[in-house]
Chain A
Amino acid sequence: QKEVEQNSGPLSVPEGAIASLNCTYSDRGSQSFFWYRQYSGKSPELIMFIYSNGDKEDGRFTAQLNKASQYVSLLIRDSQPSDSATYLCAVNRRDSGYGNKLVFGAGTILRVKS
């Protein structure tokens, strides 16, 4: 089992629809969860982070966390063609050494069709 799993997609949604991106993780002790967006040929940029169970909203984006099910998701409302990108889920893993490490999923490709 991979530490952080995402459906590779592509997930295709029409413009204006809700895009739902999902991620599961294996370390029950993980406390911090991040969603990064990566455009083709560019570096990842942070979209959302969430630490507590429940929902966290920021504009058109909502992150949802369920630690009991080890599941984190990202909802994008009113999807726009500019949202077309790869979305990387990252989970903080307890580790030996000097502290926690971020473990990244392989990413989900999102395509928003106009």
Chain B
Amino acid sequence: NAGVTQTPKFRILKIGQSMTLQCAQDMNHNYMYWYRQDPGMGLKLIYYSVGAGITDKGEVPNGYNVSRSTTEDFPLRLELAAPSQTSVYFCASSYSPDNEQFFGPGTRLTVL
């Protein structure tokens, strides 16, 4: 039981490049989330999903896109990377919105 996995662990992008951050969970959770964490700040919700085919925006969705074609996977797409997207990105999943969220190990992204 791997829990929540994320790839890659680290990435450096140039301004204007695009990339996809991968997230997968093997706990059969319907709810999945993407957060970003800037230094000294709490977690900000980017997008979330309540099941395959259903996604919605969080607090800070601009510059990102998501899709959820299976229960297990919830990739986050960055289009036209900007320095403001330099951050640590965490994927999480939960059984329900009122239950504990399990976090992946994070992806540290730098945009130069």
Q: Which residues of A are in contact with B by a Cβ distance under 8 Å?
A: 4, 8, 31-32, 34, 42-46, 49, 88, 92, 97-102, 104-107
Alpha-carbon gap, A102 to B43, bound state (A): 9
Known: A43-B103, A44-B90, A44-B103. A101 touches B43 (CB 8 A): no
Instruction: Point out the residues of chain A lying under 8 angstroms from B31, CB to CB.
Output: 99
Q: Which residues of B are in contact with A by a Cβ distance under 8 Å?
A: 31, 33, 35, 40-45, 48, 50, 54, 56, 58, 90, 96-98, 100-101, 103-106
How far apart are B34's CB and chain A's nearest CB, in angstroms?
Answer: 12
Instruction: Point out the residues of chain B lying under 8 angstroms from A34, CB to CB.
Output: 100
Q: Which single member of B43, B48, B58, B97 contacts A44 (CB below 8 Å)?
A: B43
Instruction: Point out the residues of chain A lying under 8 angstroms from B104, CB to CB.
Output: 43
Instruction: Point out the residues of chain A lying under 8 angstroms from B105, CB to CB.
Output: 42-43
B42 near A107 with CB under 8 A, answer: yes
Alpha-carbon gap, A92 to B98, bound state (A): 7
Instruction: Point out the residues of chain B lying under 8 angstroms from A104, CB to CB.
Output: 35, 42-44
Known: A42-B105, A44-B90. A101 touches B98 (CB 8 A): no
A98 near B50 with CB under 8 A, answer: yes
A99 near B97 with CB under 8 A, answer: yes
Known: A43-B106, A88-B42. A101 touches B100 (CB 8 A): no
Please indicate which of the listed interface residues B31, B100, B106 has the most CB atoms of chain A within 10 Å of its own CB.
Answer: B100
A97 near B56 with CB under 8 A, answer: yes
List 5 other contacts, CB 8 Å, given A98-B50, A98-B54. Answer: A4-B42, A34-B100, A42-B105, A43-B103, A104-B43
How far apart are A20's CB and chain B's nearest CB, in angstroms?
Answer: 20
